[in-house]
Amino acid sequence: MATVEVNNLIKKYGPFEAVKKISFEINKGEIFGLIGPNGAGKTTTLRVISTLLQINSGEVNILGYDLKKQPDEIRKIISYLPEDAGAYKTLTGRAYLKFIAKFFYEKNTNEMMERGIKIADLDSRIDDKVDTYSKGMKRRLLVGRALMTEPKLAILDEPTSGLDVINAQEIRKIIKNIAAKGTTILLSSHNMLEVEFLCDRIALIDNGIIIEKGKPKDLMKKYNSNNIEEVFAKVVKWANLEI
């Protein structure tokens, strides 16, 4: 059984169809990237799978739970990192992780917090207030927050957006390590070079439609391209020719 199964998902905002009948599945421990330009429908898809938005049509199953009928069960096994997530600025990083662990979870909260601290890897700065953190440090803290619960599925919206090369690399390393331990990862990015290195499989999305999917290496071969950026350009061009 796949960890995530999405079948013919449609999501509308009023009459506007932001996600148009998309389908994909993600296997256990896989890093799956939803890749596409601004406004393609990535965040909408991630928010649907995170149970934050209601589906108009189609099915989503996560580890056998039906998103429409069992959202509470799904919430217990997933973790979602929004693109624009913030942390409480007046708390220290450690206090923030402790607060989240205690507020949202009942068991093993100290263990959870320690795991978050280890993932965030902020050394002594973990005891400084969040409003003294750089953007990269805040993002690392939030990645720690998202992954400290050891979710079965982590949904990460643009996890490295706005980060410098070193911080982005650190976060990619964290994601790889967590996936190697069995957590399934669904992430979004418009950084096509990043996903080439990070993702086991990707889906290219444009205007709410998945126009291609597969392993980055296989797609580069199929489209005779040197990188995913080139693949994307070719697929978009051909998709438009077919319309």
Return residues touching ligand ATP (CB under 6 A): 13, 16, 18, 36, 38-44, 190
Rg of the Cα atoms in the chain: 18
Residue closer to ligand ATP (CB basis): 42 or 139: 42
Q: How far is the CB of 80 from ligand ATP (least distance, A)?
A: 14
How many other β-carbons are positioned within 10 Å of the β-carbon of residue 235? 19
Q: How far is the CB of 18 from ligand ATP (least distance, A)?
A: 3
Q: How far is the CB of 229 from ligand ATP (least distance, A)?
A: 15
Residue closer to ligand ATP (CB basis): 41 or 144: 41
User: Which residues make Cβ contacts (< 8 Å) with residue 56, sequence separation at least 6?
Assistant: 10, 11, 12
Residue closer to ligand ATP (CB basis): 40 or 112: 40
Residue closer to ligand ATP (CB basis): 2 or 53: 53
CA 147, distance to chain mean position in Å, is: 11
Q: How far is the CB of 43 from ligand ATP (least distance, A)?
A: 3
Residue closer to ligand ATP (CB basis): 28 or 190: 190
Residue closer to ligand ATP (CB basis): 70 or 161: 161
Q: How far is the CB of 226 from ligand ATP (least distance, A)?
A: 24
The full DSSP string for 102-166 is: HHH--S-HHHHHHHHHHHHT-GGGGGSBGGGS-HHHHHHHHHHHHHTT--SEEEEESTTTT--HH
Tracing tokens 């953190």 back to the chain, one arrives at 133
Q: How far is the CB of 207 from ligand ATP (least distance, A)?
A: 8
Q: How far, CA to CA in Å, does 14 sit from each of 11, 50, 211, 230?
A: 9, 20, 24, 34
- What are the helix (H) ranges across the chain? 42-49, 71-77, 93-104, 109-120, 135-147, 165-180, 192-198, 216-222, 228-242
